[in-house]
């Protein structure tokens, strides 16, 4: 390993209170400089530099899908095939790539130019099909655009390919700067009212901000809708351990692509929100745990953080008020479960992303055993508005108990899939209209990301998009990732793809999740292939019931609920498909 690489790893390690935390970023760095894979020798060297055992480092390398042991081609084409991608035609893109390149998924062309892989959701669901080439995304990929991409790559050029990426904002809070040029620059942010919330917060006490956020009833946007102010007040009072703030930017839930809109187009909004939150909870150090595939967004954040530091908005003695706070951007490495807050903390400590048993909750025992608050990007990005304008102004958006703006990511069968910022409590119909309306006839909709129960078109009628109303309809608002399906949607195939995702992502700690997901996947595969029976369908339902409530983290629930709902609500489709091969042909 080159001396410069070792120095760079040393520099990364110095950012963390515990140098073991540098394991994931160090492995990313080594892989980038070594033909897209990590050799056993380099792994051992990184382990030595960071003071972890080689066995531990190997355990980490093999846990995360982004770390490879075998070299890949010059251009690694990774096509996302999760549900929104499936609805947008990703399977045709994969087939076209296989035909054109003359290789199958998992192979490399003989000239070493291309490796083809399929991957799980890339948080680009509104602009699917998406192909990740090395560390760049190519979105809205039709067959023609795929050919254009290949032609350019063959010339050795990573092309710029514009995307439509639809969006609209009715609230003008989270996506206010989405259309403003250079909105990632601090000067643009300041010129458009940025950092006023921080200024106002620093004029008051930390307790005032906690009380404002509580009064605003800001519910966490990561999925569960837990009130942020209440979570902040769970921190033990007067302890001597440092308090950490973690921004959850893992954005791994299929159907969800909202947090990237904030980080990519308005990074200072998040930085300001974290700084105010840091002040409120008495933290001096925050982390942004961002999914590994978003390396370029991590770059945007790093740049914005450096600007904020240089203008006295971050670092020591912020705005001359004696408050110190800084932010470290930490790249994950491809593991959905690391979005779960305790798995995320393990991962940030440089370990495999295995969820921890709760309690204790992170607010009491979190990162490095210290009190830690984990909040979603969107939650933190709403804090500056509350700090500047107050809780009453925040509550002008939304419905009772469900206040504030929300970014709804709409994907699947609509004319203009994209990110739509509307108040919580907006009718689903309004959102679908904003997205250009359903193409064809609405058959079903998943309103909160892949892990929530599907609704039939009839059940979705008149649905109000807030936490409580969704729960009353037997589903959840979750992350607000709305996946729309028209009459062409093949629900058994969607159920199979759903369970394959969870089977792939299960961390493997609990038997019901690890074995249950794989067994359900085999049963559904049999059904989809027309080789199943009614008994198989019953068994799927039995297994889902057995998984529910019997796993260490909510991932078991996250697949048992949607699969159960798909099978129960569309059972005739599963019955017809299961017996398709064995049914007597008409007229025989």
573 touches which of ligand SF4, ligand FES, ligand FMN, none (CB within 5 to 8 A by kind)? none
> Closer to ligand FES at the Cβ: 122 or 464?
122
197 touches which of ligand SF4, ligand FMN, ligand FES, none (CB within 5 to 8 A by kind)? none
3-class DSSP state of 484? strand
- Cα–Cα dist 236/62, whole Å: 36
With tokens 């995304």, the residue in question is 137
Q: Are 409 and 221 in contact (CB under 8 A)?
A: no
> Closer to ligand FES at the Cβ: 124 or 517?
124
Picking from 203, 381, 369, the residue whose alpha carbon sits closest to that of residue 277 is 381
> Closer to ligand FMN at the Cβ: 73 or 384?
384
Which residues make up the interface to ligand FMN (CB under 6 A)? Answer: 220-224, 226, 228, 248, 250-253, 337, 339-341, 374-376, 379, 553-555, 558
What does the H/E/C string look like for 291-331? CHHHHHHHHHHHHHHHHHHHCCCCEEEECCCCEEEEEEEEE
3-class DSSP state of 246? strand
Site for ligand FES in 51-80 (CB under 6 A): 80
Q: From residue 10, how far is each of 32, 350, 391, 459 by CA, in Å? A: 17, 15, 44, 56
469: tokens are 């109303």
Instruction: Tally the C-alpha atoms within 13 A of residue 206's C-alpha that lie toward its C-beta.
Output: 14
Among 122-130, 352-360, 369-377, 431-439, the segment contacting ligand FES (CB under 6 A): 122-130
123 touches which of ligand FMN, ligand FES, ligand SF4, none (CB within 5 to 8 A by kind)? ligand FES
370 touches which of ligand FES, ligand SF4, ligand FMN, none (CB within 5 to 8 A by kind)? none
- Shortest CB 44 distance to ligand FMN, Å: 32
3-class DSSP state of 166? strand
Give DSSP secondary structure letters for 504-546. HH--SSSHHHHHHHHHHHHHHHHHHTT---HHHHHHHHHHHHH
Start-to-end CA distance of the chain, whole Å, equals 70
- Shortest CB 335 distance to ligand SF4, Å: 10
Q: From residue 47, how far is each of 41, 335, 347 by CA, in Å? A: 10, 21, 16
Among 107-115, 123-131, 512-520, 544-552, the segment contacting ligand FES (CB under 6 A): 123-131
> Closer to ligand FMN at the Cβ: 448 or 492?
448
> Which of 49, 119, 123, 547 lies at the binding interface for ligand FES (CB under 6 A)?
123
- Shortest CB 452 distance to ligand FMN, Å: 12
339 touches which of ligand FMN, ligand FES, ligand SF4, none (CB within 5 to 8 A by kind)? ligand FMN
- Cα–Cα dist 521/494, whole Å: 11
> Which of 125, 165, 171, 428 lies at the binding interface for ligand FES (CB under 6 A)?
125
Which residues make up the interface to ligand SF4 (CB under 6 A)? Answer: 337, 355, 506-510, 513-514, 551-553, 555-556
β-pair partners for 376 = 248
> Closer to ligand FMN at the Cβ: 129 or 252?
252
562 touches which of ligand SF4, ligand FMN, ligand FES, none (CB within 5 to 8 A by kind)? none
- Shortest CB 295 distance to ligand FMN, Å: 17
The answer to whether residue 124 forms part of the interface with ligand FES (CB under 6 A) is: yes
> Closer to ligand SF4 at the Cβ: 263 or 558?
558
> Which of 66, 97, 130, 345 lies at the binding interface for ligand FES (CB under 6 A)?
130
> Closer to ligand FMN at the Cβ: 169 or 379?
379
- Cα–Cα dist 336/120, whole Å: 9
> Closer to ligand FMN at the Cβ: 259 or 573?
259
- Shortest CB 325 distance to ligand FES, Å: 33
- Report CA dihedral (579, 582, 586, 588) to the nearest 10 degrees: -160
3-class DSSP state of 501? helix
Please give the residue ranges that form the binding site for ligand FES (CB under 6 A): 80, 82, 84-85, 121-125, 128, 130, 254
């Amino acid at each position: 390993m080159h001396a410069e690489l070792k120095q760079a790893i040393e520099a990364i390690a110095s950012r963390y209170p515990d140098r073991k935390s540098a394991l994931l970023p160090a492995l990313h760095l080594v892989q980038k400089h070594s033909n897209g894979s990590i050799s056993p020798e380099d792994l051992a060297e990184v382990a030595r530099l960071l003071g972890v055992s080689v066995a531990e480092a190997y355990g980490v390398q093999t846990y995360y899908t982004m770390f490879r042991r075998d070299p890949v081609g010059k251009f690694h084409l990774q096509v996302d095939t999760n549900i929104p991608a499936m609805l947008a035609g990703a399977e045709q893109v994969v087939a076209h790539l296989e035909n054109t390149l003359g290789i199958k998924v998992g192979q490399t062309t003989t000239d070493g130019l291309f490796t083809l892989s399929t991957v799980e959701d890339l948080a680009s669901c509104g602009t699917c099909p998406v192909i990740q080439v090395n560390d760049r995304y190519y979105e809205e990929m039709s067959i023609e655009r795929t050919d254009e991409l290949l032609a350019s790559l063959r010339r050795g050029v990573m092309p710029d390919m514009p995307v439509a990426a639809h969006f609209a904002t009715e609230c003008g809070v989270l996506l206010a700067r989405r259309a403003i040029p250079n909105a990632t620059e601090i000067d643009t942010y300041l010129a458009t009212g940025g950092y006023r919330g921080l200024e106002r917060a620093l004029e008051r006490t930390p307790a005032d901000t906690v009380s404002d956020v509580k009064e605003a009833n800001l519910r966490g946007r990561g999925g569960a809708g837990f009130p942020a102010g209440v979570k902040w007040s769970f921190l033990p009072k007067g302890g001597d351990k440092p308090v950490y703030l973690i921004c959850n930017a893992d954005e791994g839930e299929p159907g969800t692509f909202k947090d990237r809109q904030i980080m990519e187009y308005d990074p200072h909004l998040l930085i300001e929100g974290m700084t105010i939150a840091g002040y409120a909870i008495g933290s001096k150090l925050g982390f942004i745990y961002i999914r590994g595939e978003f390396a370029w967004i991590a770059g945007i954040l790093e740049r914005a953080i450096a600007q904020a530091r240089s203008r006295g908005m971050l670092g020591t003695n912020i705005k001359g008020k004696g408050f110190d706070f800084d932010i470290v951007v930490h790249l994950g490495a491809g593991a959905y479960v690391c979005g779960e807050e305790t798995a995320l903390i393990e991962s940030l400590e440089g370990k495999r992303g295995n969820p921890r048993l709760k309690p204790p909750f992170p607010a009491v025992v979190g990162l490095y055993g210290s009190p830690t608050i984990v909040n979603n990007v969107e939650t933190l990005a709403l804090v500056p508005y509350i700090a500047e304008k107050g809780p009453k102004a925040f509550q002008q958006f939304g419905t009772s108990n469900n206040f504030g703006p929300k970014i709804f990511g709409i994907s699947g069968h609509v004319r203009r899939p994209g990110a739509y910022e509307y108040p919580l409590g907006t009718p689903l119909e309004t959102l679908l209209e904003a997205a250009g309306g359903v193409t064809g006839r609405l058959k079903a909709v998943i309103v909160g990301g892949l892990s929530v129960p599907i609704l039939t078109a009839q059940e979705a009628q008149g649905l109000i998009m807030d936490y409580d109303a969704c729960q009353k309809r037997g589903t959840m608002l979750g992350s607000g990732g709305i996946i729309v399906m028209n009459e062409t949607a093949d629900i058994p195939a969607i159920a199979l793809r759903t369970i394959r995702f969870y089977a792939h992502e299960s961390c493997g700690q609990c038997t019901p999740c690890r074995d249950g997901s794989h067994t359900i996947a085999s049963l559904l595969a049999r059904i989809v292939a027309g080789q199943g029976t009614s008994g198989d369908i019953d068994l799927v339902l039995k297994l889902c019931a057995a998984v529910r409530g019997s796993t260490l983290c909510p991932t078991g629930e996250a697949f048992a609920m949607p699969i159960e709902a798909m099978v129960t609500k569309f059972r005739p489709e599963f019955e017809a498909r299961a017996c398709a091969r064995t049914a007597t042909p008409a007229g025989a």
